[in-house]
Amino acid sequence: MIVVAIIGVLAVMAIPSFMKSRRTARVNAVANDLRVFGDALNMYAMEHGGFPDDAHISPPFPAGSGVDEYIKVSKWSATTPLGGNYNWEGPDSYPYAGIAIFGSTAPADRWVELDELIDDGDIITGSFRQTPNGRYTYVIEE
């Protein structure tokens, strides 16, 4: 009986730490994805003279744009670790070129954590911010 009680106490102490580690891993995974996608899109822009047009969520990029040579589309199209999907917001439709996260249900504190990893910790300013359309967006170029 004492052994069961000890295991219960240890579990109560370990579960919050495990949950925090899991949350941090998800935020880190999204930050890494955004950096990798941003680098690939910058390389695309250098080689093609500009960023691709906005594809309005599906397909992820305009047909025939050649972005699939730079970005693994299956990784882009998968659900993000924070829920929702990555969405290219091209400069033909927005005043910036950026990678938004569309349809995520993650709480606001996750976005602040992500902003602290990528940028300045202020979700209103910097390269990672909440844009006027309400999406959290990694802005590559304005």
Per-residue pLDDT tens digits for 77-110: 888 999 888 989 989 889 999 999 988 889 988 9
Q: Which amino acid is at 14?
A: A
Alpha-carbon gap, residue 65 to 67, rounded angstroms:
6
The DSSP 8-state label assigned to residue 44 in this structure reads H
Residue 47: band (very low, low, confident or very high) from pLDDT cuts 50, 70, 90? very high
pLDDT of 60 higher than 70: yes
Query: Hey, where are the domains in the chain?
Result: 26-141
Residue 44 and residue 36 in contact, taking contact as beta carbons nearer than 8 Å: no
Whether the per-residue pLDDT at 137 is higher than 90: the answer is: yes
Question: What predicted TM-score, i.e. pTM, was given to this entire model?
Answer: 0.84
- Per the rule left: phi > 0, alpha: psi between -120 and 50, beta: everything else, 88 is beta
Q: Please list the helix, strand and coil fractions of the chain in percent, rounded to the nearest 5, in that order.
A: 45, 15, 40
pLDDT tens digit string along 4-43? 888 888 777 767 777 777 888 889 999 999 999 999 999 9
